[in-house]
Structure 1
Amino acid sequence: MRNFKIYLIVFVCLFVNQVLAQESFEGKAKDIASRIEDIVKEEKNELKVEVEAVNEQLAQGKLTNEEAEAKKKVLAEERAKIIEEKVTKLEEELHMLVQEKVDGKIKDVDTSKTITIHFSKDYFSHHRKCTNGERRTTSQFVFALGVNNLITDKQVANSDFKYWKSHFYEWGLTYNTRILKEDNLLHFKYGLSLMYNNLRPTDDRYFVKNGAQTDLVSSTVHLEESRFRNVYVMVPLHLEFDFTKKEIHENGNYFRTHKSMRVGLGGYAGFRVKSKQILCFDDAVGNDVEQKTKGNYNVNDFNYGLSAYIGYKATSLYLKYDLQPLFENNPIDQNNISLGLRFDFN
């Protein structure tokens, strides 16, 4: 009966604290992350069923190996598109949440309002595993945004793209595993991200596919908007140095993460989901025209690069550089580079 009461008290306190946490910025962000995770899991399961059906057709001789691989690629692209469309609906909600945080409309959980439970030393002697802090592997929702551009001839100066209006966005889920059992410094961070790289050309220019090459050409009309967007599914891998100090208790060490300065070094690899160009202009009679064109634009389907971040607690300065050139066959290599802020909600 005594243990039942203890468990009941713990349950009630955790429930109340969870309610308070949901009112916080982190709680709301993690709720969005959970919804994104559900979308990804659901679509991956659907894709698995579709791929198994293709494999069955292949085994029955109804498809050749080339036809089966092509069909699988189409199915994967369709599911990636569905994921993007569903997740995009959450993008506005997330942007509003970040803006409310910046405006001070949302505050972090007031720890003075949370409920703390105190137990006797005898109780902890039977539950030593509760004193080791966070689990060795934790999960985070990652959101990043900032400026985006291309490095041409090993420099980004005098770029053909607007510096402050070419943006990148990234969101995804990561897992963070403490490498050493009794030391909190080294962590291995890995996960899955959806990356948007947007380029806005200067001087009323836009991209045109010219055979195997892609050229940046001048428009005959004034362009209110010229935006070239590439969307990627990426697997980021980082070695993270977390300088959060461990707490030494009577019953052992207590480990926490994302409570101090952090440095991450690593990279990413993945594939392109789609490319799209958006042009806005006035036609001959003064009507507003928005033209959206989807295509591969000779952009490399596979992408990989280096990335690093340095920050304090959940917020970091984030740098990414694509080692793979943006276009496949252009005579001059142009590599994407991004700089911005990264938020890891633990």
Structure 2
Amino acid sequence: MRNFKIYLAAFVCLFANQIKAQETFEGKAKEIASRIENIVKEEKKELKAEVETVNDELNQGKLTNEQAEEKKKALAEARAKIIEEKVTKLEEELHVLVQEKVDGKIKSIDTSQTITIHFSKDYFAHHKKCSSGEKRTTSQFVFAFGVNNLVTDMQVANSDFKYWKSHFYEWGVTGNTRILKDDNLLHFKYGMSLMYNNLRPTDDRYFVKNGLQTDLVTSTVHLEESRFRNVYVMVPLHLEFDFTKKEIRDGGDYFRTHKSARIGIGGYAGFRVKSKQILCFDDAVGNDVEQKTKGNYNVNDFNYGLSTYVGYKATSLYLKYDLQPLFEKNPVDQNNISLGLRFDFN
């Protein structure tokens, strides 16, 4: 009976804190993140099966190496598009959640009011037996958002794009491996992300493909919305410095991550999934018109860049810079830069 009471108390504590977390920004974001993570895992599983089929065809001589690589790339792009389509609705939920956070309508977890229940020594003895610290390799769901713009002639000042209305979003899954067996400082962080870069031109302007160049031109009508979106599948790689101190329990080392200050330095590389321009305006008779145009707009298919983040626990300040110019043949190189918040949910 005593053990039953102990387990019941533990369950009540866990359940109460879970409800409290769901009412906060972190809780709601984590719930949406979990749904997105399930979508990504499911599609990656399907892609793995498709790639194995291609490898079988290659081994049987039905495909050449070049044909196999092209087919694998096509399959990866197709699965990325499926992921993008499935999470479009969730993107709007995240946008609303972020706006509520900015407006102060939703709060973070108040740890000072966390429910506390005292357990007997038997419970802690049982807990120690079942817990020996995190594994050397852990996984996280990553969600990031913030402002986005283009660096032209090595500067962002006097930009042709709105500073606070040009946004970026990123979500994905990462692995985090402790490099040294007996030291918690250095970690290798790697994974896969879906990145959305949105640019909103100023002064009723929009992009027009002009041969091998892409020009920013002025519209003949007032544009209530002018947005240029590029979606990428990226593989981010970071060397992470995690200052979470190890603990000594029962005479042994006990390692945890994301419990203190963290610094990540690295980069990313991947390919473009699609480009789309969205224009909203009133026509001659006053009807609301929304025009969506998909195309390559001479945007580079391959992209790579540098990124860094500095933060505490799950939350970090995040900076990314594309080393690859946005457009392939434009006379002036313009490189995407993003600054925002990043959340690494264990």
Q: 1:121 to 1:91 in 2, by over 3 A?
A: closer
- Whether contact under 8 Å (1:185, 1:242) holds in the other structure is yes
Structure 2 unaligned spans of 5+: none
Q: Deviations over 1:12-58 (max 9, x none)?
A: 67655553453214455444333323212222333344455566677
Q: Report the counterpart of residue 335 of structure 1 in structure 2.
A: 335
Equivalent position amino acid for 1:42 in 2: E
Q: 1:313 to 1:121 in 2, by over 3 A?
A: closer
Q: Report the counterpart of residue 298 of structure 2 in structure 1.
A: 298
Q: Report the counterpart of residue 158 of structure 1 in structure 2.
A: 158
The answer to whether residue 129 in structure 2 is matched with residue 141 in structure 1 is no
Of residues 225-234 and 210-219 in structure 1, the stretch that sits farther from structure 2 once superposed is 210-219
Q: Report the counterpart of residue 311 of structure 1 in structure 2.
A: 311
Q: Deviations over 1:246-276 (max 9, x none)?
A: 2334422332222222111111111111100
Q: Deviations over 1:252-307 (max 9, x none)?
A: 23322222221111111111111000111111111111110001111111111001
Q: Report the counterpart of residue 247 of structure 1 in structure 2.
A: 247
TM-score (norm 2): 0.85
User: Which runs of structure 2 are paired with 1:212-227 in the superposition (5 Å)?
Assistant: 212-227=212-227
The answer to whether residue 15 in structure 2 is matched with residue 19 in structure 1 is yes
> SS at the partner of 1:36?
helix
Measure the CA separation in 2 of the matches of 1:197 and 1:170: 9
Measure the CA separation in 1 of the matches of 2:133 and 2:116: 18
Of residues 174-183 and 275-284 in structure 1, the stretch that sits farther from structure 2 once superposed is 174-183
User: Which runs of structure 2 are paired with 1:107-118 in the superposition (5 Å)?
Assistant: 107=109, 112-113=114-115
- Whether contact under 8 Å (1:172, 1:193) holds in the other structure is yes
- Whether contact under 8 Å (1:212, 1:298) holds in the other structure is yes
Q: Report the counterpart of residue 91 of structure 1 in structure 2.
A: 91
- Whether contact under 8 Å (1:147, 1:167) holds in the other structure is yes
Equivalent position amino acid for 1:113 in 2: I
Measure the CA separation in 2 of the matches of 1:218 and 1:122: 68
Q: 1:218 to 1:248 in 2, by over 3 A?
A: same
> SS at the partner of 1:223?
coil
Q: Report the counterpart of residue 105 of structure 2 in structure 1.
A: 103
Of residues 221-230 and 255-264 in structure 1, the stretch that sits farther from structure 2 once superposed is 255-264
> SS at the partner of 1:214?
strand
Q: 1:11 to 1:136 in 2, by over 3 A?
A: farther
Equivalent position amino acid for 2:105 in 1: D
TM-score (norm 1): 0.85
How many residues are treated as equivalent by the alignment?
A: 340
Measure the CA separation in 2 of the matches of 1:33 and 1:121: 32
- Percent identity over the alignment is 78
Measure the CA separation in 1 of the matches of 2:264 and 2:332: 31
Measure the CA separation in 1 of the matches of 2:290 and 2:114: 52
Q: Deviations over 1:201-255 (max 9, x none)?
A: 1121111111121111121211111110000111111111122222334422332
Measure the CA separation in 2 of the matches of 1:254 and 1:213: 57
- Whether contact under 8 Å (2:17, 2:114) holds in the other structure is no
Shift of 1:181: 2.3
User: Which runs of structure 2 are paired with 1:178-327 in the superposition (5 Å)?
Assistant: 178-327=178-327
- Whether contact under 8 Å (2:33, 2:143) holds in the other structure is no
Q: Deviations over 1:110-157 (max 9, x none)?
A: 785355655469968x97783x42222222221111111111111111
Shift of 1:186: 1.4
- Whether contact under 8 Å (2:6, 2:120) holds in the other structure is no
Q: 1:286 to 1:267 in 2, by over 3 A?
A: same
- Whether contact under 8 Å (1:166, 1:198) holds in the other structure is yes
